Amino acid sequence: MSSLTPIESTVVWRPSASYIEQSRLTQFMRRHQIGSYASLFRRSVEDLEWFWNAVNEDLGLEWIRPYTRVYDSSAGIPWTKWWIDGKYNYVHNCLDRHLPRLKDKIAIRYEDEEGTTRTLTYRQALVEVSRLANGLKRLGIRKGDRVGIFMPLIPECVIATLAVSRIGAIYIPIFSGFGAPAVAARLTDCDSVALITADSFPRRGRPVPMKETADEALRSVPSVRHVIVHRRQGAQIPWTEGRDHWWDETIKSQPADRPPEPTDAEDPFMIIYTSGTTGRPKGTVHVHGGFPIKGAMDMAYGFDFKESDTMFWLTDLGWMMGPWEIIGVMTLGGTMLLYDGAIDHPEPDRLWALLERHKITVAGISPTAIRAMMRYGEEPVRQHDLRALRLLGSTGEPWNPEPWLWYFHHVGGGRCPVLNYSGGTEISGGILGCTVLHAQKPCCFTGPVLGMDADVYDEQGRPVRGAVGELVVRKPWPGMTRGFWRDPERYLQTYWSRWPNIWVHGDWVSIDDEGFWFIQGRSDDTIKVAGKRVGPAEVESALVSHPAVSEAAAIGVPDELKGEKIVCFAVLKSEGRPSDDLRESLADMVVSHLGKSLRPARILFVRELPRTRNAKIMRRVIRAKYLNADPGDLSSLENPQAVDEIGRAQ
């Protein structure tokens, strides 16, 4: 059974009349004479043709050639096609469509670690995108070619994604902090013909040599013929004549106009890689009529994002939230803030200063980042006027109540909802989310995102309530990946092999008796002790409720008597000191939350936990290291040194 704490069982926010009245959802329902959100949701999953038609019209999307049908599942639900016969280039809907009204509106705000700021209007962005698109065409890059983008999140990074897509090529977003082997693996897998990168970028005042990393990677990627380099810092870098091109030279004298390639709605625009438990990373294929429309819909109705809003999401291009933010904000005609730097440098209040300085109205910050900022206390937040905020977002990891409440009270002032959002790279956004029309409990989701026919299944494939089960989706949606690059069988095996025509996402979820949803962790992380299943998030929430603990990870390891036993790793706050007494106290804390049968067998102390660059704790890596097994693909790790620490933990 799911075991919510008393805090998680308490409603802490209810929408005011103004939130409800001014929301995009309320306007959408009135337009279609729908009396309640429950009725809208039912119709969104029961009548896909009507719903996605209505979304297309409501968002004012423009088509190069209109579609004749919304979708076709004749090849099987896993291979559903959308917007049949339609020609759609999403860049037109991000830029050209807005020019009559919004040409002088700021599309991109930017601040770097050194404190320099820049802005780009929609008109300026279109000019820069067109010039780079023309430069790429001059280099011989064509529709369908794969182009890696390995850049910090600067305005040129946004320009690069849109320019590649404008000419019908396919971009591969790569985390800016990746090492050479991870960069090479992605470029090699899809036979990239070009790479767009930067000379270097600063982190905590020190340069990160990006071009050197790119050069090392490219020694094993013979398919790359061109490397375009943006002068981010003006660093001295190695150079390969004939292959390497400066960004400014590439766009020099190029026309400021380039019509978008008339791509089909099913033409790929992006291959974004996710890490598998074993083997090589999975190249998730997304198309012009998929990810961009699903992402914009989620942002419009799930995050109530409007033209008047400025969004800041703490992300990187290599995490799907980077492309999601770029495409969603610009499709909806809003403004985004990009920040290229550490969030606590040079002072602990840097993140909060950013939100104040740029008058951010919608902020997205992961639970991991909030836990990290909590160590500095409340004073850095109090120094800044955050009254412009109206919505808080989060994704990446399950919450624990204490950091959720800290975010809610100290960042949002107790007046902004925390719009929890979870889905994935293969989804193009959310399966579960929140809205401004629903009350909130700490850590909750208010239910599935519109258009997502999600449920929770038990081991026999039956809907279950009052217990933890598998998160599934029963009907297709436009943003579903069109498979893994050159590996269709792996795609079918990963998501569609357990139950016929049911997407099994791999998340462990429970629904309480009031209809609030809670993610308990990845189902492949689930621990089963003497027949009792528990999600690692439940154990971790108990541990971090102790005042000495900053973060925690729980894993299940083999046990001859019970099948599995629980082993925990705890990161202590600065004032915490490892001791046997503290171990006992933490074990008692888990017992008080979950019962004696789930008392941890061991509690070990570490300075940090292995995590991905999109802030997810890598429990399967922790488990493998603890058991001296193969940890699988480690290319997405932000802090590989933490893996060795797991082996030394005591």
Residue with tokens 């888990």: 590
Tell whether 490 and 584 lie within a shared domain: no
Number of C-beta neighbours around residue 191 at 10 A = 14
CATH number (domain holding residue 539): 3.30.300.30
List Cα–Cα distances, 144 to 86, 291, 327, 390, in angstroms.
Answer: 18, 17, 20, 40
Beta-carbon contacts of residue 631 (< 8 Å; ≥ 6 apart) = 620, 621, 624, 625, 643
Tell whether 127 and 216 lie within a shared domain: yes
Question: What is the residue range of 169's domain?
Answer: 123-251
pLDDT at 4 over 70: no
Last residue of a domain, one of 491, 519, 547: 519
CATH number (domain holding residue 353): 3.40.50.12780
Average model confidence (pLDDT) across the chain: 93
| Total domain count, the chain | 3
Q: Is residue 266 part of a domain?
A: no
Residue 633 and residue 650: Cα distance in Å, rounded?
25
Averaged pLDDT, 543-549: 90
What is the pLDDT at residue 36? 97
Coil, strand or helix: which one is 179? coil
Tell whether 379 and 447 lie within a shared domain: yes
Q: How confident is the model at residue 278 (pLDDT cuts 50, 70, 90)?
A: very low
Q: What percent of the chain has pLDDT over 70?
A: 96
Strand order in the sheet with 362-364: 117-121, 106-112, 335-340, 310-313, 362-364, 391-394, 418-420
Tell whether 426 and 293 lie within a shared domain: yes
Report pLDDT digits (tens) over 420-464.
999 999 999 999 999 999 999 999 999 999 999 999 999 999 999
Q: Is residue 163 part of a domain?
A: yes
Among 273, 199, 259, 274, smallest CA distance to 229 is for: 199
Averaged pLDDT, 577-581: 91
Last residue of a domain, one of 471, 494, 519: 519
Tell whether 230 and 298 lie within a shared domain: no
Q: How confident is the model at residue 8 (pLDDT cuts 50, 70, 90)?
A: low
Q: How confident is the model at residue 375 (pLDDT cuts 50, 70, 90)?
A: confident
Asked whether the beta carbons of 180 and 217 are under 8 A apart, the reply is yes
Residue 253 and residue 453: Cα distance in Å, rounded?
50
CATH number (domain holding residue 136): 3.40.50.980
Q: Is residue 118 part of a domain?
A: no
pLDDT at 3 over 60: no
pLDDT at 648 over 80: yes
Q: Is residue 395 part of a domain?
A: yes
What Rg do the C-alpha atoms of the chain give, in angstroms? 24
Tell whether 496 and 591 lie within a shared domain: no
Q: Is residue 106 part of a domain?
A: no
Last residue of a domain, one of 519, 543, 558: 519
Task: Record the pTM.
Answer: 0.88
What is the pLDDT at residue 561? 79
Tell whether 511 and 536 lie within a shared domain: no
